[in-house]
Structure 1
Amino acid sequence: MRYNKIVLAGGNGYLGQVLADYYRNLATEIVILSRKPALPKGNVKTIVWNGIDEGEWKDALEGSDLLINLCGKNVNCRYTEKNRQEIISSRINPTLLLGNVIAKLESPPELWINITSATIYRHAEDHPQDEETGEIGYGFSINVCRQWEQAFFETNTPRTRKIALRMGIVFGRSDGAFPRLLNLVKFGLGGRQGDGQQYVSWIHEQDAAKCTEWLLEHKELSGVINCTAPEAVKNTKLMKLIRTSYGVPFGLPSPAWLLELGAVFIGTETELILKSRWVEPRHLTDSGYSFIFPKVEHAVKDIISLRI
C-alpha cells in the first residue's frame, strides 16, 4: 500500500464514495466521518461525528496522509432563508472544527483538501476564469464560497498543507448532475436549457478522484486549485452529445421562463442551470496533470456505455 490513511469528512455522499473506491487499493485504511453509522467494507470504515463538536473521531486524523472535507448541504434547493443558513453553516462549521482539531494534533494530516466550488467565478461567456486572473462573481452562492474559503484559509494549521479545490460539475454514473441530464434526454426533453450558450465546466468522476492523489504527491501545490476538465462545453453541445450518444434523435428545448416555473415545482434554482461557468484548471495543467477524460465527448460516451 502506498498510503497509510485517507480521511473523508462527510464522505458518505456520491463524491465521497467515488473517492473511497479510488483509494481502496492505494491506502491501508480509509476513514469516513459521517453522521450516520455504517458497517466496515474491507479497509473502509465509518466513524460517527456531527461536524460541530470534538470527539473520539479526531484520533482518526492522527498520522493521516490526506484529509478531504466534503461537508455541505446540497445546493440543489430553493434558497429560502432556512436553506441559506443551513448551506452556509454546514460548510463553515465543519471546516472550522477540522482546523481547530488539526492544530492540536501531534501528527496532523500532510494535506487537507477542502472541496469548494467553481461557481465562485462570475458568469463568463467571454473568456475562461483561472486561479490567477479569474473574477469572483456576486450573489448568494458566490458569497457562500467566499465565506467558506475564508474560514478554511484562516484556520491555523502550519504543519498541514491546504488546498481549496474549486470543483466543477462532476460527471459520473451513479449520481450527481449527469444522470439527471440523461433522464431529460430519455423523456424527449434533452434540448438546450435557456439559450444554450452558457458554458458548463465539468469533470469526470475519475479525474475528480485522481487529481486529489496528484495534489498529494506534488507538494509544491497549495492554495486555490481549479478542478475542471481543460475544455468547458456549451449547454447546447452538451445536450446534443448526450442525445447522440444515447441514440435519441431529438430533444425539446427548455426556455428560461419554463425553467423558472419548473424550478419552483421541483425545489431548485435556475442559477444552477443557466449560469455560464467557464473555468480553466491552469494550476493542474501547468503542473503536468494528465486528464483521463480531457474531452467531453469521451466522458459522455464512457458514462453512457456503462449505464446501458
Structure 2
Amino acid sequence: MKKKVVLAGGTGFIGQHFTKLYKELDYDVHIISRQNEHISWTDTERMLEAIDGAELLINLAGKSVNCRYNEANKKAIMQSRTETTKALGKAVLSCETPPKLWINSSTATIYRHAEDRAMTEADGEIGTGFSVDVATTWEDTFFAYQLPHTRQIALRIAIVLGKGGGVMSPYLNLVKFGLGGVQGTGDQMFSWIHLDDLFQIVEFLREREDLSGVFNCSAPEPVTNHELMKQLRTKLNAPIGLPAPKWMLEAGSVLIRTETELVLKSRWVIPERLEQAGFTFTYPTLDQALSEIIH
C-alpha cells in the first residue's frame, strides 16, 4: 500500500512542485483546494478520509500577499490562513489514524525589519504591523491544537526561488527591461530559499521524529537587495539597471496593486535550528541558486 501525503492549498507554486516530487517518490498525493478537481475545503467527509492514515499533512493554503492591503484583502489574507488551519485541525482530531506529522506554513516576515543583525528562532524579535499579525495569528491557531499522536512543525518560509513562477518571474522581467537596479536604499536584507531545498527540509523533518516546533526556512547566506539585483543583472548579462527609490516604488505599487513592504522590508533570517540539527543545503548561496534557476 502506498504511503499517503496530503497537500492542503497544494495548487500554487510550491504545491505543484511538491506534488510532482511526491508522485516521483511513489506517494499517493491528495490535494485540498478551492479548485474543482480537488478535495473541497467544504467537503469535510472527503478531507477526513484523505487525512486519516496519512504519513504527512502539509498546509500551504493562503491568499497571496501580493495585493493592496485594503480591508477586504486583509480579511481574506487572514481568514484564508486561519480558517483552513482550523478545518485541518478539526479533521486531524477526528482521525482514527492521525497523520504522524503536520507541517503548517508560516512566514519569515514574522520578524522585525532587521538591518542590524540576523534573526534566529531563539532570539529573533517579532515585528509589528499587519503582515506580522497574520503570521503570529496563523502560528497561534496552529499550535492551539494539542495533538498527542501528531508532531507539529511551523515553517517560517523566506522568499522562495525556483523555476517557472514565484517571485523570480517579476524580478527577471525588471532586469530584462533595464529596471534591475537597487530598490529603496538597497541595504535591506533579502532572505531566500531555493524551492528544492524547501522540499528537502520537509523530507528531513519528516524523518527526524525528535524535531518539532518552529523552523526558519531560509538559505544560510542572505544578501542585501543591492547584491541580489547585481547578481540578477550578471546572470542575465544586463549591464544597466535603473534604481527604484522609495517614492517611485510607492507610486508604482499603487498602479500594480501591491505593497512596497514586499520589497523594502529587511528580512534577515538565519536557519539556526536546521543547521544545528545537521541539515545540509543544496543551494546555500544565491549564486548557486540563480545559476540553477536561470540556466
Bin the TM-score by the shorter chain.
over 0.9
Give the 5 Å matches for 1:110-125: 110-125=100-115
Question: Which residue in the other structure is 1:44 paired with?
Answer: none
Question: Which residue in the other structure is 1:43 paired with?
Answer: none
Aligned partners of 1:25 and 1:62: how far apart in 2?
22
Q: Matched residue of 1:162: which SS? A: strand
Cα 1:31–1:53 change in 2 (3 A) is closer
Q: Matched residue of 1:107: which SS? A: coil
Give the 5 Å matches for 1:207-246: 207-246=197-236
Q: Matched residue of 1:134: which SS? A: coil
TM-score by length of 2: 0.98
| Deviation per residue, 1:146-170 (Å, 9 max, x gap) | 1000000001322100001000000
Question: Which residue in the other structure is 2:25 paired with?
Answer: 26
Q: Matched residue of 1:279: which SS? A: coil
Aligned partners of 2:276 and 2:205: how far apart in 1?
13
Aligned partners of 1:224 and 1:162: how far apart in 2?
9
| Deviation per residue, 1:41-81 (Å, 9 max, x gap) | xxxxxx3212x562322101111111100110000000000
TM-score by length of 1: 0.94
Question: Which residue in the other structure is 2:65 paired with?
Answer: 75
Q: Which amino acid is 1:225 matched to?
A: F
User: What displacement does 1:25 show?
Assistant: 2.0
Q: Find out whether 1:293 has 2:293 as its counterpart.
A: no
Identity among equivalent positions (%) equals 49
Give the 5 Å matches for 1:57-72: 57-72=47-62
Supply the RMSD in Å over aligned alpha carbons: 1.2
Give the 5 Å matches for 1:112-151: 112-151=102-141
Question: Which residue in the other structure is 2:259 paired with?
Answer: 269
User: What displacement does 1:104 show?
Assistant: 1.4
Q: Matched residue of 1:116: which SS? A: strand
| Deviation per residue, 1:135-194 (Å, 9 max, x gap) | 000000000001000000001322100001000000011111111101000000000000
Q: Find out whether 1:304 has 2:294 as its counterpart.
A: yes
| Deviation per residue, 1:250-288 (Å, 9 max, x gap) | 100000000000000000000010000000101111111
Comparing 21-30 with 228-237, greater Cα deviation is found at: 21-30
Aligned partners of 1:135 and 1:124: how far apart in 2?
9
Q: Matched residue of 2:6: which SS? A: strand
Aligned residues: 295
Q: Matched residue of 1:203: which SS? A: strand
Q: Matched residue of 1:137: which SS? A: coil
Q: Which amino acid is 2:95 matched to?
A: L
User: What displacement does 1:27 show?
Assistant: 3.5
Aligned partners of 1:274 and 1:203: how far apart in 2?
18
Q: Matched residue of 1:212: which SS? A: helix
| Deviation per residue, 1:8-57 (Å, 9 max, x gap) | 0010111101111222222431111112133xxxxxxxx3212x562322
Q: Find out whether 1:49 has 2:48 as its counterpart.
A: no
Question: Which residue in the other structure is 2:13 paired with?
Answer: 14
Question: Which residue in the other structure is 1:174 paired with?
Answer: 164
Aligned partners of 2:27 and 2:69: how far apart in 1?
41
Q: Which amino acid is 2:123 matched to?
A: T
Aligned partners of 1:101 and 1:204: how far apart in 2?
31
Q: Which amino acid is 2:133 matched to?
A: N
* TM superposition outliers: structure 1 runs of 4+ over 3 Å: none
Unaligned runs of 5+ in 2: none
Q: Which amino acid is 1:21 matched to?
A: K
Unaligned runs of 5+ in 1: 39-46
Question: Which residue in the other structure is 1:256 paired with?
Answer: 246
CA contact (8 A) 1:200 1:232 kept: yes
Q: Matched residue of 1:239: which SS? A: helix
Aligned partners of 2:231 and 2:242: how far apart in 1?
14
Aligned partners of 1:18 and 1:282: how far apart in 2?
25
CA contact (8 A) 1:49 1:55 kept: no
